[in-house]
Amino acid sequence: MRCEDIQKQFGIDAKLSRLSEAIKKHLIECPTCRQTQVLYNVIDQELKEQYNWQPPPGFAERVGNQGYALLDLESAELRWISWDKVNSALVTSLPSILLGILSAVFFLLFLSNLGILMTSYERFVNSFTNFLLANAIHLAWTTAIVALCFSVTLMRRILR
């Protein structure tokens, strides 16, 4: 490694204990880099020893109370319906929603065929079977999605 590259490395952190073995070895051999490292270390120390602020007594209470008065609680309410929360709620409740939709469709079909059911049980079964056959692909997909969602929910609960 060139002196410039090495100086850049300890220019970021000049503490000797944090330098790699290759750099330490170079420092033993190169007086220029060694002097630069010592200089950077002194700069680091001086920068670290600069002032740290201590809040005066009562600062937190005073500013906390002022801040409380400024809190935008309306936006805080909006925060509760942030995308993250909506997303997570949707994922969690998706199986129930899908099951609900499926039940509703089934119930609707049942009700719409209630007249036929009353007059002829056989006609209703035939009609329903025809419907199932005609929509077999859609129903298969729906069932698969519902099953998958249930699996995801169960897995999430197990992993929690």
Partner 1 sequence: MDNKERALVDRALSGDQEACTRLVNDYSRMVGTVIWRATGDNHVVEDLAQETFLRVFKALGYFDSRGKLSTWIYTIAHRVAIDHLRKVGRWREESIIDESKSNMVDRISAPESFNPEGVLVREEICRVVREELERLPDTYRLALVYTAIEGLDYPTVAGMLGIPVGTLKTYVFRGKRMLKEKISDAM
Residues interacting with partner 1, by CB under 8 A? Answer: 3-4, 7-8, 11-12, 31-32, 35-36, 38-40, 42-44, 46-48, 50-56, 59-61, 63-68, 70-76, 78-79, 82, 84
Smaller CB distance to partner 1: residue 64 or 118? 64
Min dist. Cβ of residue 47 to partner 1 (A): 4
Please report which residue ranges of 59-82 form alpha helices under DSSP H: 59-70, 73-79
End-to-end CA distance of the chain: 49
CB 128 within 8 A of CB 108: no
Cα dihedral across residues 110, 115, 116, 121: positive or negative: positive
Report the residue number, 37 or 98, with the smaller CB distance to partner 1.
37
Choice between 6 and 146, CB closer to partner 1: 6
